[in-house]
Chains A and B, each alone.
Chain A
């Protein structure tokens, strides 16, 4: 469906994307996880067949986007980070006008628009202008707009950034439904929970490169442990206490506000720490997440 080999985008002497390889298979939900500035959006622009690569190979739906941009884009659905909805137009018009760009017949679009508004749970906002809608509604409208041409691949750039938790869950539910319908989805995110929820497989990007690739579970298994024990000894004591804690787990990471101990049994490690006479101010055992994978791979946390 989509394959990139040594894909590069260089602006002047800055490599925004610095030689990355990945493949996306039909029907899968593929994620690009990374902090701001990792090169996710640049990658997204290239696989949207809009921004031309400066090196490497990219094949989308069997075609080269540097040559066949419009033809490829005819079968892509793009949901940009900033929605880019038309504020002069009503909700239904945004969908209708967008469908027209693909040369879709007006009559067909009339039915499609209603179907999409229902899917996006925006039937009662049909005649509202974009500014009268909440952020979550606007994002759902943008997703509906990306689906108007029944694309082979739906591309979402940071789909839930800036949304409140409830709006995020509504959106996840909609995307989940698309996944069930067999739509191929590619999304970028800097939220690990989103990647875990929505992606079958993902790559972790940092500084224009891919650091790791796999399913969320595989990545956690490879780069983290089953559980994580979070200990807080106070800002000035975390650093000096870490070496004493290290022996109770597989690995230890020190963050400014806490110490993370990677272990397969968090409770047991906690008991061992307390038994050794150390007194953490607070402690917490949790499942390892992609955040830990990222920390392991880059030495930094995702949301700086």
Chain B
């Protein structure tokens, strides 16, 4: 048994407490992620290696051999798929951090309500969760990018812009998925549906494994609305010198800006509403 030293209202510096709440929420999320570090690290390293070996080298070898290297404007298949794989990894990496953690926060464990009882505001909690997802995205993209480099799948000079265009897709996608999860009362398999009916078609029809233009026009729209396609197109400009009109490049960036802006408004509204009920 011990006595508590206590000076009510003296230790917290209010100006300090109300600033930087998002970083402290992110700090908490990262601490939480550390419990799964082995899974996160091995997935971050294992996933690219598996894809590069099977799709890049295996299928790529077949395609390059069959075409005599004349397909895809003479670009080796591995280099063709590399930007798409990186963008896809960024998108999937962030998703883990804005789906179940948000359900836990609001519904399963209600942690967000405990955080909101402190000087941290609802928006700061949203920002913190997103920030942690972005940090996870950075980790994924850096790991994957370096492995791409090791496999000779991308030129050294393209590494930074490629990582940036992939990360932008990841950030916009994280906000979009969070706009969904922040409004869910129950999971009810929504994330599984997103996985099967959004992520899977996106992965298959966004020009990941072949140029999207090869598809008939009635499935081409899937690419146009897909963050993966926009990011992949940007990435291919940096890695294999894909030629695109300037307006289309601007459309790619605008697409992500709009996706992020609309999503974050929805996210904030949901957080403020649910935590203030």
Contact flags A137-178 to B (C-beta < 8 A → 1, else 0): 000000000010111100000000000000000000000011
**Does A270 make an interface contact (CB < 8 A)?**
no
Is there an interface contact between A101 and B32, defined as CB atoms closer than 8 Å? Answer: no
Would you call B4 and A119 a contact (CB within 8 A)? yes
Residues A101 and B18 in contact, CB atoms below 8 Å apart: no
Instruction: State A78–B277 Cα separation when bound (angstroms).
Output: 16
> Are the C-beta atoms of B20 and A88 separated by less than 8 Å?
no
B249 at the interface (CB under 8 A from A): no
Indicate if the CB atoms of B8 and A184 lie closer than 8 Å.
yes
- In the assembled complex, the CB of A194 is this many whole angstroms from the nearest CB of chain B, namely 21
The answer on a CB contact under 8 Å between B12 and A102 is yes
A274, CB-defined interface residue at 8 Å: no
Give B253-277 as 1s and 0s: 1 = Cβ < 8 Å from A's Cβ atoms.
0000000000000000000000111
Closest to B125 in A: A101
B31 touches A98 (CB 8 A): no
Given contacts A78-B117, A101-B120, contact A115 B5 (CB under 8 A): yes
A51 within 8 A of B: yes
Contact of A73 among B9, B10, B109, B117 (CB under 8 A): B117
Chain A interface helix/strand/loop/mixed: loop
Tell which of B4, B31, B119 touches A101, judged by Cβ atoms closer than 8 Å. B119
Most buried by A among B5, B17, B275: B17
Cβ contact within 8 Å between B111 and A86: yes
Question: Given that A86-B111, A101-B119, A119-B2 are known contacts, is A75 also in contact with B31, CB under 8 Å in the complex?
Answer: no
Would you give the shortest CB distance from A280 to chain B, in whole angstroms?
46
Bound state CA distance, A70 and B119, in angstroms? Answer: 4
Quick one: closest A residue to B33, CB to CB? A88
- Contact of A51 with B276 in the complex, beta carbons under 8 Å: yes
Given known pairs A97-B31, A151-B8, the reply for A70 and B18 (CB within 8 Å) is yes
Is B118 a contact partner of A149 (Cβ separation < 8 A)? yes
Q: Assuming the A-B contacts A75-B9, A80-B114, A84-B109, are A103 and B4 also in contact, with contact meaning beta carbons closer than 8 angstroms in the complex?
A: no
* A120-133 interface bits toward B, Cβ cutoff 8 Å, 1 = contact, 0 = none: 01000000000000
Minimum CB distance partner of B34 in chain A: A88
Q: Pick the contact of A88: B5, B11, B32 (CB < 8 A).
A: B32
Residue of A51, A100, A149, A177 near B11 (CB, 8 A) is A149
Q: Beyond A100-B24, A115-B5, is A50–B14 a contact (Cβ under 8 Å)?
A: no
Selected from B8, B18, B276, the residue in CB contact (under 8 A) with A74 is B18
- Interface membership of B19, Cβ < 8 A: yes
Query: Does B21 belong to the interface (CB within 8 Å)?
Result: yes
Contact (A103, B119) CB under 8 Å given A50-B275, A147-B4: yes
Give Cα A262–Cα B255 distance, bound, in whole angstroms: 75
Which residues of the other chain, A, contact B27 by a CB distance below 8 angstroms? Answer: 97, 100
Tell me if A52 counts as interface (CB < 8 A to partner B): yes
- Interface flag for B224 (CB, 8 Å): no
B115 in contact (CB, < 8 A): yes
Interface mask (A177-205 → B, CB under 8 Å = 1, otherwise 0): 11001111000000000000000000000
- Show 16 residue pairs from A and B whose CB-CB distance is below 8 angstroms, ordered by the A residue: A51-B276, A52-B276, A89-B31, A97-B31, A98-B114, A98-B118, A100-B28, A101-B120, A103-B16, A103-B20, A115-B5, A118-B2, A119-B2, A150-B8, A150-B11, A182-B8
Interface on B for A, CB 8 Å cutoff? 1-14, 16-21, 24-25, 27-28, 31-32, 35, 109-111, 113-121, 275-277
- What 6 new A-B contacts, CB under 8 Å, besides A50-B117, A100-B27? A51-B277, A78-B117, A87-B109, A121-B1, A178-B4, A182-B8
| 3 A-B pairs closest in CB distance | A118-B2, A84-B114, A78-B117
